[in-house]
Amino acid sequence: MLTPILSSASCSWTPTSQFPHSWHSSPSFLTKPLNLPFTESYKTAKRPTPNYSFKVQAMIEKEVAVSHKPDAFLRESDMGSNVTSNSSSVRGRFEKMRREAQDSVCLAIEKADGGAKFKEDVWSRPGGGGGHSSVLQDGAVFEKAGVNVSVVYGVMPPEAYRAARPTDNGNVKPGPIPFFAAGVSSVLHPKNPFAPTLHFNYRYFETDAPKDAPGAPRQWWFGGGTDFTPAYIFEEDVKHFHSVQKAACDKFDASFYPRFKKWCVDYFYIKHRDERRGLGGIFFDDFNDYDQEMLLSFSTECANSVIPAYIPIVEKRKDTPFTDKHKAWQQLRRGRYVEFNLVYDRGTTFGLKTGGRIESILVSLPLTARWEYDHKPEEGTEEWKLLDACINPKEWI
């Protein structure tokens, strides 16, 4: 049974076309609208997002630190009792995927770092769900590397359900909609200014039928992406990174890479500077207009592509000699990373407002960052080339 976990403080529910990309310990998916009823048709047209605005109860329950790392945060009672076996299976398999992604990325990072170990923090919430942050800090290769996983149970207000089904004319008045969500997210900041920062997150969301309307349609969606943020452009690195993303996408649909590359460019936009955070990758959200099994496989493929997309670049650049000038430029770009995450990232800003686990939310911030007044790279320099590519996004492959 899905148990409500939300407590009483309220926050504004303002769905927009920019959905949260980050996955922390907070239910950032609450900022996205429900599109009920869900469709399982393959390649249906994208449905328009309903235009509504109302309040939700969105202060999340306080987490409790636990000393052991559970095999899964998914409760056994939710694996097959009052949900269909197919749904249970997707939940269960997504849980397995996010666990394997965390384990494999942490292993690969420790191996690349050559000595430092991840610190593990595990917590649970009395009402169900929990999270796990793995953080490696001040290693030989990585300044800060964090991998978060989180499972959240909660309820959506019935207004969300009604607003998303306007054709019912208010005749359907179910109770709160129970939901389940799970995800993995990570930000990896290397020390060497020629080795790029990497971010990825993959998440799965599912609603149950309202208790008093057991036959009502349920909803599910996938979201996620992998993007990277170099301080200097090595064209072979950028081509390699994007090629791996494209290969993962092309296994499923030729339209995915161009569509999700553009979405990534649009999302990681620092509006007040009119520049992107980095050199992109892929990003998708609110994604349920393909077969559910296919999208689980697609998300798994994307998560499995993180290591082959990123580790070879880090291995190649981690020992490149650099000067103080290179380091200062990397630190300035890290400052931009901070600006994006604190000002625009919907997962971060929502997490800060709703009382998520702050240390997990802000593990995405670099160990160190820099702001120089009115810094302008000289035209034609390597620094200028990076900035130009952030201002004028390019096709790399």
Annotated binding-site members for substrate: 185, 201-203, 355-360
CB count in 10 Å sphere of residue 394: 12
User: Residue 151 and residue 27: Cα distance in Å, rounded?
Assistant: 9
Q: Given the rule CB under 8 A, which of 85-93, 101-109, 222-230, 331-339 is the region that contacts its own copies?
A: 331-339
Q: Given the rule CB under 8 A, which of 31-39, 161-169, 213-221, 338-346 is the region that contacts its own copies?
A: 338-346
Q: Given the rule CB under 8 A, which of 35-43, 89-97, 211-219, 266-274 is the region that contacts its own copies?
A: 266-274
From the candidates 132, 199, 240, 242, give the one annotated as an active-site residue: 199
Tell me the site size for its own copies, rule CB under 8 A.
Answer: 35
- Answer yes or no whether residue 362 interacts with its own copies by CB under 8 A: yes
Site for its own copies in 277-296 (CB under 8 A): none
| Residue nearer to its own copies on the CB measure, 94 or 344 | 344
Which DSSP string do the residues of 97-121 spell out, in sequence order?
HHHHHHHHHHHHHHHHHTS---EEE
User: Residue 284 and residue 225: Cα distance in Å, rounded?
Assistant: 6
- Answer yes or no whether residue 371 interacts with its own copies by CB under 8 A: yes
Is 199 a catalytic site residue?
Answer: yes
- Answer yes or no whether residue 54 interacts with its own copies by CB under 8 A: no
User: Residue 35 and residue 168: Cα distance in Å, rounded?
Assistant: 14
- Answer yes or no whether residue 324 interacts with its own copies by CB under 8 A: no
User: Residue 67 and residue 56: Cα distance in Å, rounded?
Assistant: 33
Q: Given the rule CB under 8 A, which of 89-97, 170-178, 238-246, 332-340 is the region that contacts its own copies?
A: 332-340
147 to 25, 119, 137, 393, 395: CA distances (angstroms): 11, 10, 12, 28, 29
Q: What are phi and psi of 107, to 5 degrees?
A: -60, -45
Question: Among candidates 261, 122, 125, which has minimal Cα distance to 181?
Answer: 125
| Residue nearer to its own copies on the CB measure, 35 or 354 | 354
- Answer yes or no whether residue 116 interacts with its own copies by CB under 8 A: no
Give residues with Cβ within 8 angstroms of 381, minimum separation 6: none
Q: Which of 59, 79, 209, 338 binds its own copies (CB under 8 A)?
A: 338
- Answer yes or no whether residue 68 interacts with its own copies by CB under 8 A: no
Q: What are phi and psi of 101, to 5 degrees?
A: -65, -45
Contacts with its own copies, residue ranges (CB under 8 A):
119, 121, 133, 135, 137, 144, 146, 271-273, 331, 335, 338-339, 342-343, 349, 352-353, 355, 358-359, 361-363, 365-374
